[in-house]
Amino acid sequence: MTDPLLPGATVGVFGSGQLGRMLALAARRMGYRIHVYSPEADTPTGQVADRETVAPYNDLEAVRAFARAVDVITFEFENVPSAAVDAAAELVPVRPRSTVLYTTQNRLREKIWLDQHAFPVARSVPVRSPENLLGGLRRLGYPAVLKTAGYGYDGKGQSLITRPEDVDGALAALGGQDAILEAYVAFKREVSVVAARGVDGSFVHYGVVENEHRAHILDVTTAPAAVSPEIARRAEAIAREVLEALDVVGVLCIEMFLTGDGKLVVNELAPRPHNSGHYTVDACVTSQFEQQLRAVCGLPLGSTEQLRPAAMANLLGDLWQRGEPDWAAACAFPNVKLHLYGKREARPGRKMGHLTALAAAPAEAAEQARAARAALTLAHANSTTSAGSGEPRDRR
């Protein structure tokens, strides 16, 4: 096995959003340097990184210069083109390796891989033409979910088809892109497992958490999830098998549906830290970001022990609709931690930050996180002459 990269080494990151920011914060605390690569400037990651390269992913010369300047590369955004990752991998280790990215960045490829490895998934058919879609609906029935194969996250590129009249709209939304039609899973709950695997094949997981979505976007995560030990054991076993079969070095999240009869159905893989693991920053011995750093640097993995029940509530741009949220009101909850990502523009649906609440029990933590989030805009709701109403304001 190769020697670990020790503090002082430079970790390169493809992608510059909040996941890279929290990785960078963990890395800098441990004395590593962070160099971020993305097409944007003044980014959530760039603001806290040592170096920021601003160049398109298809500028392979810039990618090679970046690769030469770092000791290892990881990513926080899985839609980095394979050509960029492959060019970088000729010069420096990329972890997880490019095949992990290749498989998981496209829903069709991911679903085929999961199916071939006998993981439980929703029935699905590939859709490359209107005829495929109609044939797929005959096979799967209604309702069904049509998803673009590439660039899908947070419900983007997704349409629910409940009756034949929905077909035209769903096709129009696709705009000719390859897609996958999935049978609708009437789930009871959504859960996920964040797990990590080291260079030496060591494996750790953070247990099962419960995720509530609003408009297809994660809203609240409660950790741990209130599931039976048997379901937790099965979900954790799926996580281990996925990381081993994909030969992941790094962090990967498996999102699953839990049906009323106790079946787990894998919905999606994310080969990086995940929004449903943000609570680990405040609630666990080792956060998912420190774990990613340890894994990609070849260090021993840290304990995933959760010190207190926790819940995370996302802060979307919608909260800025009537002006700057009242941060002091959330900070008045002494067991709630505020995380903001440094994004300038608060667009509806955009993840701007999150709150983590710690409490004696998971349900109580979820209640606290929600209450603290509601307090952010209480003053706006109560005032009829809010000075900040109208256009969303820049946060800084």
CB nearer to ligand AMP: pick between 236 and 268: 268
Owner of token pair 């011995």? 285
CB nearer to ligand AMP: pick between 169 and 390: 169
Assigned token pair, 89:
């991998």
Minimum distance, C-beta of residue 14 to ligand AMP, in the bound complex (Å): 21
For every residue of 249-302, DSSP letters joined together read -EEEEEEEEEETTS-EEEEEEESS--GGGTTHHHHBSS-HHHHHHHHHHTPPPP
Residue 149-168 contact track with ligand AMP, rule CB under 6 A, x = bound:
---xx-x--x----------
Question: Which one, of 276, 358, 277, lies nearest residue 310 by Cα?
Answer: 358
Cβ atoms 76, 14 nearer than 8 A: yes
Minimum distance, C-beta of residue 369 to ligand AMP, in the bound complex (Å): 19
CB nearer to ligand AMP: pick between 110 and 290: 110
CB nearer to ligand AMP: pick between 195 and 297: 195
Minimum distance, C-beta of residue 118 to ligand AMP, in the bound complex (Å): 19
Residue 182, interface with ligand AMP (CB under 6 A)?
yes
CB nearer to ligand AMP: pick between 143 and 388: 143
Strand partners, 284: 306
CB nearer to ligand AMP: pick between 147 and 339: 147
Q: Give dist(CA 139, CA 245) in Å, integer.
A: 30
Q: Which of 55, 123, 184, 342 binds ligand AMP (CB under 6 A)?
A: 184
Peptide bond into 143 cis (omega under 30): yes
By CB under 6 A, how many residues form the interface with ligand AMP?
16
CB nearer to ligand AMP: pick between 122 and 336: 122
CB nearer to ligand AMP: pick between 188 and 216: 216
Q: Which of 268, 271, 297, 310 binds ligand AMP (CB under 6 A)?
A: 268
User: Can you say how many angstroms the Cα of residue 227 is from the centroid of all Cα atoms in its chain?
Assistant: 22
Q: Which of 28, 51, 109, 213 binds ligand AMP (CB under 6 A)?
A: 213
Cβ atoms 223, 310 nearer than 8 A: yes
CB nearer to ligand AMP: pick between 122 and 301: 122
1: how many CB neighbours lie within 10 A of its CB? Answer: 8
Please calculate the CA angle 32-34-40 and round it to the nearest 5 degrees: 170
Cβ atoms 119, 268 nearer than 8 A: no
Distances from the Cα of 242 to the Cα of 47, 235, 258, 271, 300, angstroms: 33, 11, 18, 11, 20
Identify residues 112-131 at the interface with ligand AMP (CB under 6 A): 122
Residue 106, interface with ligand AMP (CB under 6 A)?
no
Return the sign of the alpha-carbon dihedral for residues 221, 226, 229, 234: negative
Residue 267, interface with ligand AMP (CB under 6 A)?
yes
Assign residue 70 a region (left: φ > 0; alpha: ψ between -120 and 50; beta: otherwise).
beta
- Residues 196-224 as b/e (b if ≥16 CB within 10 A, e otherwise) read bbbbeeeebbbbbbbbeeeeebbebbbbb
Q: Which of 52, 71, 190, 236 binds ligand AMP (CB under 6 A)?
A: 190
Minimum distance, C-beta of residue 354 to ligand AMP, in the bound complex (Å): 17
Question: For residue 39, what are the contacts with CB-CB under 8 A and spacing of at least 6?
Answer: 54, 55, 56, 57
Residue 137, interface with ligand AMP (CB under 6 A)?
no
CB hemisphere CA count around 300 (13 angstroms):
2
Pick the stretch among 172-180, 182-190, 196-204, 336-344 that binds ligand AMP (CB under 6 A): 182-190
Minimum distance, C-beta of residue 43 to ligand AMP, in the bound complex (Å): 23
CB nearer to ligand AMP: pick between 4 and 155: 155
Residue 135, interface with ligand AMP (CB under 6 A)?
no
Residue 52, interface with ligand AMP (CB under 6 A)?
no
Residue 314, interface with ligand AMP (CB under 6 A)?
no
Which residues here bind ligand AMP, judged by CB under 6 A? Answer: 122, 145, 147, 152-153, 155, 158, 182, 184-185, 190, 213, 216, 255, 267-268
